[in-house]
Structure 1
Amino acid sequence: MLFAINATLVALVAIMTLLPLSRYPAWWVRDMDFPRLQIVIFALSVLLFQWLVLGLEERIDRVLNLVTLACLIYQLFWILPYTRIFPSEVKVGTLKGKGERIRILSSNVLEPNRNAQGLIDLIRQNNPDVVVTLETNHWWQEQLSVLEKDYPYTIKCPLENLYGMHVFSRYPLEDCATQFLVQPDIPSMHAMLVLPSQRRIRLHFLHPAPPSPTENDESTQRDAELLIVAKSVTKLDTPVIVAGDLNDVAWSATTRLFRKISGLLDPRVGRGMFNTFHAGHWFMRWPLDHFFHSSHFTLSFIKRLPAFGSDHFPVMVELIYDESAVEEQEGLSANAHDMEISEEKIHAEPVSPEKVHEPH
């Protein structure tokens, strides 16, 4: 009986570990990228069961123990960069020049949520320079209009399909565009922000649909949108920030590929996971809301803000422009195999990097 229980538990650990190795885009495969932390905890529990209950006297038990341990080590490979024991990818910065700082707050509000005042209070308490909201419809647009006194530069796309998007900025936004890059009802926003120092920063805000039984059966649409934006910002001299709810975890193969292709940095690496979803379930959380930026920036801070009724926690980052950091910071690099996979994922949808608006 104990052997059957052990074999079943090890089989579950192995299946959850091996499924994401496949490039098959079905939602039930790709969603196994998400709970890697939970799988680590599960695998550790299985190891304790094997050591304390079984004793590992039989050869088959030792084999199952090694399988569990191998799965645990593999899962740790993906999530350890998002812990403090890993070196930070982005250096800590201090403000040197006037007006060279940008503070961005990103929040998926959950469209049916009616606690708009809770978000407004968080914005006023934390004083961001730019606010990007996701899942905002016409009701949310009306409620958030009170922000426009302090944030006069806006981009608005209210939708009733859980994919509305708004940007509010205290600094000028130029050459703005709202695009529907992959799906006709899923917007993205692109703009050039001008800091008080006259520094120009290219912004891209995204919220692709996730692979799920209620959304897209496969991850091809999400992956294609992320990768065409990644290719559009590769090797730019202009400072770049890409942010939003990407409906993908920081440690997935697709997000890692996005980082390789774009060359952008992740301020969470070496600092923490900053899990933003699900705000209502402490045992099932993962990092879905992201900030990626070019090596022009160092980090003042990144933090998760309190919940206000949404299923996502808001998250805020403060970046500091530091030209000297360009040569000192380096993210992941793409090899020929990465480029091949990227092209394959992009070509799965009728899109291309040339479609992405390039603000000037």
Structure 2
Amino acid sequence: MPEKSLNLQIYSKLPVENTQIKSLGEGRPALLADVTIQGKVVSIIATHPNIPTRNSSFKQRNQQFKAIGDYVREIKNPVVLLGDLNTTMWSPFYQKMVDNAGLINTRQGFGILPTWKTPIPWVYIPLDHCLVSPEIQVKNFRRGRDVGSDHRPVIADIVIPKKP
């Protein structure tokens, strides 16, 4: 079995609590953390599922999507799920995960904004995503500038609801 690597990081101006590395299905683990914003705990999940280059890794990635959806559905806090998901939003496996988890793609209403350069230099596809719980408002979504990676960053301006 190949070694699982975790090349994920969460940076925050606010204190990050309850950090853990958790396997959600087979393959690469996810990085979990909580941040308290205006008295409301928000759960963050950073993930980078397997690259579907073979039938086995395709199945593994799709199983990870199912496990992520199941896990998010059990979280009581608002959720922000982000990362290179190695799929587009048109994938039926991605759509099942989003539906199962009850999340919203922050791209919605802002365009496709592709992030990953394919082997064809002028063709990009949207592999990098930020998904949020329905109670989180999305004010803006944009693709960041080229930072020297084969992926462009995504930037989502979101508003966390005040604690009732």
TM class, shorter-length: 0.7 to 0.9
Structure 2: runs of 5 or more not aligned: none
Q: By how many angstroms is 1:198 displaced?
A: 2.1
Alignment partner, residue 212 of structure 1: 53
Cα RMSD (Å): 2.3
Query: Is structure 2 residue 19 aligned with structure 1 residue 176?
Result: yes
Query: Is structure 2 residue 67 aligned with structure 1 residue 252?
Result: no
Q: In structure 1, how many angstroms separate the alpha carbons of the residues matched to 2:149 and 2:130?
A: 19
Structure with higher strand content: 2
Q: Quick one: structure 1 residues 187 and 293, their matched pair in 2 at CA, closer, same or farther if it must change by over 3 Å?
A: same
Mean Cα displacement is larger for which, 230-239 or 312-321? Answer: 230-239
Q: Quick one: structure 1 residues 236 and 281, their matched pair in 2 at CA, closer, same or farther if it must change by over 3 Å?
A: same
Q: In structure 2, how many angstroms separate the alpha carbons of the residues matched to 1:175 and 1:281?
A: 41
Where 1:219 maps in the other structure, the secondary structure is helix
The correspondence for 1:199, drawn from 31, 40, 44, is: 40
Relative contact order (C-alpha < 8 Å, sep 6+): which is higher? 1
Q: In structure 1, how many angstroms separate the alpha carbons of the residues matched to 2:120 and 2:151?
A: 10
Q: Quick one: structure 1 residues 294 and 250, their matched pair in 2 at CA, closer, same or farther if it must change by over 3 Å?
A: same
Q: In structure 2, how many angstroms separate the alpha carbons of the residues matched to 1:192 and 1:308?
A: 27
State whether residues 113 and 142 of structure 2, in contact with CA within 8 Å, keep that contact through their aligned partners in structure 1.
Answer: yes
Where 2:125 maps in the other structure, the secondary structure is coil
State whether residues 279 and 313 of structure 1, in contact with CA within 8 Å, keep that contact through their aligned partners in structure 2.
Answer: no
State whether residues 280 and 311 of structure 1, in contact with CA within 8 Å, keep that contact through their aligned partners in structure 2.
Answer: no
Letter in 1 for 2:117: H
Q: Kindly name which structure, 1 or 2, has the bigger radius of gyration based on alpha carbons.
A: 1
What is the total number of aligned residue pairs between the two structures? 160
Q: Please show how residues 141-156 of structure 1 align to structure 2 within 5 Å.
A: none
Letter in 1 for 2:128: D
Q: In structure 2, how many angstroms separate the alpha carbons of the residues matched to 1:292 and 1:209?
A: 18
State whether residues 304 and 315 of structure 1, in contact with CA within 8 Å, keep that contact through their aligned partners in structure 2.
Answer: yes
Where 2:10 maps in the other structure, the secondary structure is strand
Q: Please show how residues 1-360 of structure 1 align to structure 2 within 5 Å.
A: 163-183=6-26, 186-195=28-37, 197-213=38-54, 217-234=56-73, 236-278=75-117, 281-322=120-161
Instruction: Give me the identity figure in percent.
Output: 25
TM-score under structure 2 length normalisation: 0.86
Letter in 2 for 1:188: A
Mean Cα displacement is larger for which, 279-288 or 239-248? Answer: 279-288
Letter in 2 for 1:208: P
For residues 155-182 of structure 1, give each alpha carbon's deviation from its aligned partner in whole angstroms, at most 9, with x where no partner exists.
xxxxx98752222211111111012343
Q: By how many angstroms is 1:316 displaced?
A: 0.9
Q: Quick one: structure 1 residues 170 and 279, their matched pair in 2 at CA, closer, same or farther if it must change by over 3 Å?
A: farther
Q: In structure 2, how many angstroms separate the alpha carbons of the residues matched to 1:162 and 1:235?
A: 26
For residues 259-310 of structure 1, give each alpha carbon's deviation from its aligned partner in whole angstroms, at most 9, with x where no partner exists.
1111111121232111000178553211100011111111121111111211
State whether residues 279 and 307 of structure 1, in contact with CA within 8 Å, keep that contact through their aligned partners in structure 2.
Answer: no
Moved over 6 A (4+): none
TM-score under structure 1 length normalisation: 0.41
Structure with higher helix content: 1
Structure 1: runs of 5 or more not aligned: 1-159, 324-360
State whether residues 137 and 160 of structure 2, in contact with CA within 8 Å, keep that contact through their aligned partners in structure 1.
Answer: yes
Where 1:168 maps in the other structure, the secondary structure is coil
Q: Quick one: structure 1 residues 310 and 189, their matched pair in 2 at CA, closer, same or farther if it must change by over 3 Å?
A: same
Q: By how many angstroms is 1:243 displaced?
A: 0.6
For residues 52-90 of structure 1, give each alpha carbon's deviation from its aligned partner in whole angstroms, at most 9, with x where no partner exists.
xxxxxxxxxxxxxxxxxxxxxxxxxxxxxxxxxxxxxxx
Where 1:301 maps in the other structure, the secondary structure is strand
Where 2:19 maps in the other structure, the secondary structure is strand
Mean Cα displacement is larger for which, 235-244 or 304-313? Answer: 235-244
Q: In structure 1, how many angstroms separate the alpha carbons of the residues matched to 2:123 and 2:39?
A: 43
Q: In structure 2, how many angstroms separate the alpha carbons of the residues matched to 1:174 and 1:308?
A: 28
